[in-house]
């Protein structure tokens, strides 16, 4: 790959970062040389290098890890409480380089911010409401720097708005048209761009300020809305 194309790719990634609603871009490719950190459902901590990750319809089915002692682990989502995975190569370029300075007070102190600043992707097992059923899924958190009161998870099936590519290759995705979202201690549920205006008042009903200041709510302001909500519920 020429230096010109490489530079263009980096600029496009930077453009995507600035226009991604201040959310971390989802990771789909992970390093097989850097250390991953996994905490199991029983509290056991495992660190090692990723050997393989298998996905089914966008969701992780299992992850194979080899620890420093050479022991191999094959883990299913139900075995995992949370994990920090190192993105690989170009995928890492699509991460935010610095977290927003004025939202540090909304940090979830349960999360390792140092790993996040290094570009690690954070996944956690959480309750998810799908239609009338509730289940537990291993979900990637996209706003780990300010997720104390409101969490935004990757929808693995989400479609995207227009993206940018070079030579037929897609390098920068547009904004996702849906996310799984969750208020503190509540199950996550699917929030869609096309339904955001209709669901806006119900979603943010405990924050009158947010509702009154946004008579015509925009999907692209979801991050800003979540921060205003965080201020309301403190």
pLDDT tens digit string along 47-58?
999 999 998 877
Q: What percent of the chain has pLDDT over 90?
A: 56
* Residue 213 in domain: no
Tell me what pLDDT residue 174 has.
54
Tell me what pLDDT residue 160 has.
61
Instruction: Judge whether residue 154 has pLDDT over 80.
Output: yes
Backbone angles phi, psi at 195, to 5 degrees: -110, 5
Q: Tell me the pLDDT band of 166, cut-offs 50, 70 and 90.
A: very low
* Residue 231 in domain: no
Q: Tell me the pLDDT band of 6, cut-offs 50, 70 and 90.
A: very low
- Which helix H or strand E contains 213, and what residues bound it? none
Range of the structural domain that residue 167 is part of = 3-29+87-193
Tens-place pLDDT, residues 118-133: 889 999 999 999 888 9
Tell me what pLDDT residue 141 has.
95
Integer Cα distance of 57 and 221 in angstroms = 28
What is the number of structural domains in the chain? 1
Residue, of 140 and 28, whose pLDDT is higher? 140
* Residue 127 in domain: yes
* Residue 69 in domain: no
* Residue 21 in domain: yes
Integer Cα distance of 126 and 133 in angstroms = 14
Tell me what pLDDT residue 117 has.
83
> Among residues 29, 22, 11, 12, which one has the least CA distance to residue 173?
12
Tell me what pLDDT residue 170 has.
41
* Residue 223 in domain: no
* Residue 143 in domain: yes
Q: Tell me the pLDDT band of 110, cut-offs 50, 70 and 90.
A: confident
Tell me what the mean pLDDT of segment 66-85 comes to: 96
Compute how many other C-beta atoms are within 10 angstroms of the C-beta atom of residue 20: 22
* Residue 105 in domain: yes
Q: Tell me the pLDDT band of 18, cut-offs 50, 70 and 90.
A: very low
Q: Tell me the pLDDT band of 44, cut-offs 50, 70 and 90.
A: very high
């Amino acid at each position: 790959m020429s230096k010109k194309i490489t530079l263009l790719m980096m600029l496009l990634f930077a453009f995507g970062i600035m226009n991604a609603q201040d959310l971390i871009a989802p990771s789909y490719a992970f390093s097989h040389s850097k250390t991953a950190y996994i905490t199991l459902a029983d509290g056991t901590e495992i660190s090692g290098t990723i050997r393989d990750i298998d996905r089914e319809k966008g969701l992780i089915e299992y992850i194979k890890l080899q620890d420093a002692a050479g022991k191999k682990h094959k883990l299913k989502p139900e075995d995992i409480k949370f994990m920090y995975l190192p993105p690989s190569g170009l995928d890492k370029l699509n991460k935010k380089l610095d977290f927003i300075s004025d939202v540090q007070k909304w940090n979830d102190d349960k999360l390792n911010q140092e790993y996040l600043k290094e570009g690690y992707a954070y996944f956690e097992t959480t309750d998810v409401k799908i239609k009338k059923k509730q289940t537990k899924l291993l979900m990637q958190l996209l706003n780990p720097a300010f997720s104390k009161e409101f969490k935004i998870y990757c929808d693995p099936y989400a479609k995207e708005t227009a993206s940018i590519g070079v030579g037929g290759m897609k390098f920068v995705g547009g904004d996702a048209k849906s996310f799984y979202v969750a208020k503190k201690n509540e199950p996550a549920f699917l929030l869609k761009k096309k339904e955001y205006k209709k669901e806006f008042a119900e979603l943010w009903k405990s924050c009158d300020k947010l509702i009154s200041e946004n008579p015509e709510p925009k999907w692209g302001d979801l991050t800003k809305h979540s921060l205003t909500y965080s201020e309301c519920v403190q």
